Chains A and B, each alone.
Chain A
Amino acid sequence: MSSTTTVKTAPAARPVRSVDRWYPLRRSAEAVLAPLVALVTAAALFSIFLLFLGASPVDFIDLVWRGAFGSWFSIQNTVQRASPLLLTALCVAIPAQLGLVIIGGEAAVVLGGLAATVAALPLVNTSPIIVWAAMAVAGSAMGAAWITLSGWLRARLNVNEVIASLVLSYIGLALFNHFVEGLLRDPASLNKPSTYGIGDQNMLGNVPWLDLHPGLPVGVLACVLCWVLIYRTSFGFAARVTGGNMRAAQLQGLPVTKLILVACAIGGGCAGLAGAIEVAAEYGRANASLDAGYGYTGILIAFLARFNPLTIIPMAILLGGLGAADGLLQRRMDLPDATIQVLQGLIFVLILASDTLYGRVRWFQPRGDA
């Protein structure tokens, strides 16, 4: 209690709150600055690596800038690459609120894409709106079901979800290949086995004026909604409490099993939706192109974002930008593709290490007497 307050202290709560009014903002600043420090450190270490290779770090940074953000084309290239990653990162970040590490998003993407295609096929001659709705529902439902399976194994049988989701993702990919190369294969797709197509008229067009498909706005919207869910609803609160200490949450009477299943369903639904969008906007049919590693890159992004759905957006753009610049680096500096992977690895390790910075700097901490 503040020393200025009188005996009748009812309003005292207000000054305390007002002192602390900027804390959420500072907390956000901390969340931005810590990874920035890590990025700068990674860039510095990587420059040393480049000097050993005999390449110029200045050229490198210049090319990354030009390839990722330097022109309107580059910016669109970057965000287009980021858009499926937003959704696959959520597949990791939402279950992570409960302390679960789900790494099987890749299977949710491909099976979501496959389910979306199957749902679309009988409807190709109706209207595109119906087709898209069916694809979105089928894709998310499939992804949700697949990831929920890992959650169920964890909640009911106490199977480690890391192993379960990883092993299930191999099974999912095998199932996907089995259907695409067998039962659902369009016999005309000779050397690249694919399902039947959803038809050109049902393809998702680009966002007006931009060379971007609607995956980007959908992904950003999903991140925002998930942020609201996690930080502004009682479900999110219960999930975070469970993540803090699952046994304690159980003792408090929180429906932990239900929370796990719902969180896995939401995450898996996002990844499945990513697969559905890829089919509707890019391929028009399900084939091996869906298995492009979006699910795995999503894991990286979710960890980089410390599982905060809003932070996923800049992190996905960062990795999208590195992907966009990769080609230019190969072409101009004659660097192998693995160079970018070295940089990604450095960034990953340093951002994880930067976790230890949180709470160390007083300025970011809550102030006041409360």
Chain B
Amino acid sequence: MPVTTPDANALSRSLSRRRLLQGTAGAASLAAVGLPGQSAEAAKTLTVGFIYVGPKDDYGYNQAHAEAAAMVKKMPGVKVVEEERVPETDAVSKSMESMIQLDGATLLFPTSFGYFDPYMLKTATKYKDIQFRHCGGLWTDKDPMNTGSYFGYIGMCQYLNGIAAAHATKSKKIGFVAAKPIPQVLVNVNSFTLGARSVDPTITTSVIFTGEWSMPVKEAEATNSLIGQGIDVITCHVDGPKVIMETAERRGIYTCGYHADQSKLAPKGYLTGAEWNWITVYKQFINDAQAGKPIPNFTRGGLAEGFVKMSAYGPALSAAGRKNVDAVKAEIMKGGYSVFKGPLKDNKGTIVIPAGKALPETAIELESCNYLVEGVVGSIA
């Protein structure tokens, strides 16, 4: 649901001014001033900057963005500049400024959650003619109008992962390696569990929190420990699922991916996976920028909008499993599907969603989710 800026004129004005500053050719300046319709053709190349918190080839969060950036590179009239492993410190402000000052970038995608406040907001106040869009859904109308957020409802894909897992598990125990007990992660753990229990209510999910977004040693330990507890399907929410998938494959259990396609890492056990599909967002934003239209400040979407997608099914997923996942996915695509439906208890027995209430993916309540649903073995604190 894109929320466009009220003052579209101001934005296109700032776009023109930016082009004027940039333009060396008189023709480009002329087109930008007088003929907004043609400015996209006449204007110079649009330079777009991507910043990642980890390596571009992490088989995870950063790779999902980098793969989309690689597709953006092929778009006409676009130049892409990228930086990986930029920490969530002042370093990211400097990277953004460097892209603006030294590369002439005018549209920036700082993709890590922690880049938003204060780094991106501060930099955006300093460079009012540059557009900043942040991955994470933090933007409110109090923030600068040249900034914005985009995010996807990937919990639905974890729900589908859960359904696939339910068809593969024999021990009726499935596992989840999670980074931090924050709302986004908890929604994923809960969705995965609810998906599995929609098929077989006796299934339980064992969860281990590693406490860090990227800590491969702990992730491998957690995977081994979960397998030791008897789980036979695993998924995760950490920045780079690589070691989890590899460890699980080596131990001969099934896997459901997260962030990006990990089927290469676990060719035998990979059932399916919850993936981002950022190219949808990037293409829309870049098309807007090239057409001189304002870029939305706040965009969110799920499976139906093409913001997220499922990996292709692996050989280990049975025909019945595929049919079940396909059927639920078709329901979700129709819109308004709720995974979180009352009466819903947390794993301590407290009712967290009363009977008669259902929370679709867009529900604001899910953004402050602070519980693990019934069927999850583990605790937040």
In the complex the two chains form, is B183's CB within 8 Å of A191's CB? yes
**Residue from the list B82, B89, B367 in contact with A289, Cβ < 8 A:** B89
Task: Indicate if the CB atoms of A292 and B87 lie closer than 8 Å.
Answer: yes
Select which of A192, A292, A328 is within 8 A of B98 by beta carbon.
A328
- Interface centre among A74, A182, A284, A328, by most chain B C-beta atoms within 10 angstroms, is A328
Check B102 for interface membership: any CB of A closer than 8 A: yes
Is B317 located at the chain interface by the 8 A CB criterion? no
Q: A67-B102, A73-B101, A193-B180 are in contact. Are A327 and B95 (CB under 8 A)?
A: yes
Beyond A190-B367, A193-B180, A288-B114, whether A327 also contacts B99 by CB under 8 A is yes
- Say yes or no: is A59 at the interface (Cβ < 8 Å to chain B): no
Q: Is B88 part of the binding interface, using a Cβ–Cβ cutoff of 8 Å? A: yes
In the complex, which residues 274-296 of chain A have their Cβ closer than 8 Å to any Cβ of chain B? 278, 282-284, 287-289, 292-293
A284 to B122, CA, bound (A): 13
**A323-335 near B? 1/0 per residue, CB < 8 Å:** 1101110110000
**Does B113 have its Cβ within 8 Å of any Cβ on chain A?**
yes
Q: How far is the CA of A293 from the CA of B84 in the complex (A)?
A: 16
Whether the pair A177, B211 counts as a contact (CB closer than 8 A) is: yes
Q: Check if B113 sits within 8 Å of A191, measured CB to CB.
A: yes
Closest CB-CB distance, B94 to chain A, in whole Å?
A: 5
A159 to B84, CA, bound (A): 40
Count residues of chain B with CB under 8 A from any CB of chain A.
34
Taking the complex as formed, is A77 at the interface, i.e. its CB lies under 8 A from any CB of chain B?
Answer: yes
How far apart are A335's CB and chain B's nearest CB, in angstroms? Answer: 10
A73-B97, A289-B114, A336-B55 given; A328·B136 CB < 8 A: no
> In the complex, are the beta carbons of A337 and B85 less than 8 A apart?
yes
**Residues of chain A lying within 8 A (CB to CB) of residue B81:** 331
B12 interface residue (CB < 8 Å to A):
no
Neighbour of A293 across the interface among B56, B87, B99, B211, CB < 8 A: B87
Do A288 and B118 contact each other (CB < 8 Å), given the known contacts A191-B136, A328-B102, A336-B55? no
Q: Does A181 make an interface contact (CB < 8 A)?
A: yes
Interface flag for B379 (CB, 8 Å): no
Is A81 on the interface with B (CB-CB < 8 A)? yes
A112 to B51, CA, bound (A): 29
> In the complex, A88 Cα to B19 Cα: how many Å?
43
| CB of A87 to closest CB in B, whole Å | 15
Which residues of B are found within 8 Å of A193, using beta-carbon distances? 180, 182
Residue B305 CB within 8 A of the other chain: no
Q: Quick one: which of B94, B118, B211, B368 contacts A190, CB cutoff 8 A?
A: B368
Q: For residue B88, which residues in chain A have a CB less than 8 angstroms away from its CB? A: 288-289, 292
Q: List, in ascending order, chain B residues with CB within 8 A of A288's CB.
A: 88, 114
- Which of B55, B86, B180, B184 makes the CB contact (< 8 A) with A327? B86
- B91 close to chain A: CB less than 8 A: yes
User: Is there a chain A Cβ closer than 8 Å to B346's Cβ?
Assistant: no
Residues in A neighbouring B129, C-beta threshold 8 A: none
Binding site for A on B (CB under 8 A): 55-56, 81-91, 94-95, 97-99, 101-103, 113-114, 118, 136, 180-184, 211, 367-368, 381
- 20 A-B pairs with CB atoms under 8 Å apart are A71-B101, A73-B97, A181-B180, A182-B381, A191-B184, A192-B182, A283-B118, A289-B88, A292-B91, A293-B87, A324-B94, A327-B83, A327-B99, A328-B98, A331-B81, A331-B83, A331-B103, A337-B83, A337-B84, A337-B85
Chain A interface (Cβ < 8 Å from any Cβ of B):
66-67, 71, 73-74, 77, 80-81, 177, 181-182, 190-193, 278, 282-284, 287-289, 292-293, 323-324, 326-328, 330-331, 336-337
